[in-house]
């Protein structure tokens, strides 16, 4: 009689059993948390680098704008017989700080060939500095120039953007012993004309950018001083 041996299936050892559904879900949850942490760290690092870059660019632009305005104020002068040849300063309180508008006249070197150029050739321009900001927009510090005399005086004014992301532009002038936020000087009023002696300029960048600093300078205006010979 023939006998057939029947082999029985052996169950796998308990140590080689597969992952359960709970363990798979737990592993996926840990992987998701790690991915979120990595993306958050990348976002924080990128935002920090971007803020630092914006601070460097914005700080350089504000410093340059401050130097331009200070230089023009040292050259400011009355132009008698011209309605735009005086000195105007107006200040209002904005939502993020004082906002000033200042206008005066300065000489500009003419387009004369030569190296060095002939300093006797220049023209007079009316300059204006103001902060332009719409609702919810970043402030733009603008410079406007227009010639006072000659055919170019009929041309539209030229506007330059000096800096973007400005919260505050505050200018004060010293007339005799008083510091003023508002001033109007008429160059045709010879006896009453009191040209500003000194100006304080304060520019504050976007305060939402961390580490943004204030830029300030005090400028001497030579045209406002009267020199008397010593006796």
In a domain, 231, yes or no: no
In a domain, 152, yes or no: yes
Tens digits of residue pLDDT in 27-77 = 788 888 888 887 777 776 666 556 555 555 557 889 999 999 999 999 998
The domain total for the chain is 1
Tens digits of residue pLDDT in 66-114 = 999 999 999 998 888 788 889 999 999 988 889 999 999 998 876 555 5
214 within 8 A of 202, measured Cβ to Cβ: yes
Structural domain boundaries, residue 97: 51-111+122-224
Q: Which residues contact 144 (CB under 8 A, 6 or more apart)?
A: 127, 128, 129, 130, 157, 158, 159, 160
Mean pLDDT of 9-26: 63
175 within 8 A of 182, measured Cβ to Cβ: no
In a domain, 200, yes or no: yes
In a domain, 27, yes or no: no
In a domain, 14, yes or no: no
In a domain, 186, yes or no: yes
Mean pLDDT of 102-129: 76
Question: What sign does the dihedral 147-153-158-159 (CA atoms) show?
Answer: positive
Tokens of 200: 């304080």
In a domain, 136, yes or no: yes
In a domain, 173, yes or no: yes
């Amino acid at each position: 009689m023939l006998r057939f041996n029947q082999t029985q299936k052996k169950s796998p050892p308990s140590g080689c059993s597969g992952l359960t559904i709970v363990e798979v879900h737990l592993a996926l949850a840990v992987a998701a948390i790690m991915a979120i942490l990595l993306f958050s760290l990348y976002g924080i690092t990128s935002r920090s680098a971007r803020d630092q870059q914006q601070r460097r660019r914005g700080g350089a632009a504000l410093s340059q704008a401050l130097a331009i305005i200070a230089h023009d104020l040292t050259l400011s002068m009355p132009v008698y017989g011209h309605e735009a040849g005086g000195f105007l300063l107006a200040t209002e309180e904005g939502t993020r700080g004082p906002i000033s508008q200042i206008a005066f006249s300065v000489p500009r070197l003419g387009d004369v060939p030569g190296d060095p150029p002939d300093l006797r050739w220049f023209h007079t321009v009316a300059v204006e500095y103001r902060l332009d900001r719409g609702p919810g927009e970043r402030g733009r510090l603008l410079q406007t120039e227009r010639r006072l005399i000659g055919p170019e005086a009929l041309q539209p004014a030229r506007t330059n953007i000096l800096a973007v992301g400005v919260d505050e532009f505050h200018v004060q002038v010293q007339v005799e012993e008083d510091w003023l936020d508002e001033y109007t000087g008429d160059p045709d009023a010879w006896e009453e004309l009191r040209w500003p002696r000194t100006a304080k300029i304060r520019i504050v960048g976007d305060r939402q950018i961390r580490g943004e600093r204030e830029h300030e300078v005090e400028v001497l205006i030579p045209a406002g001083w009267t020199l008397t010979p010593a006796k």
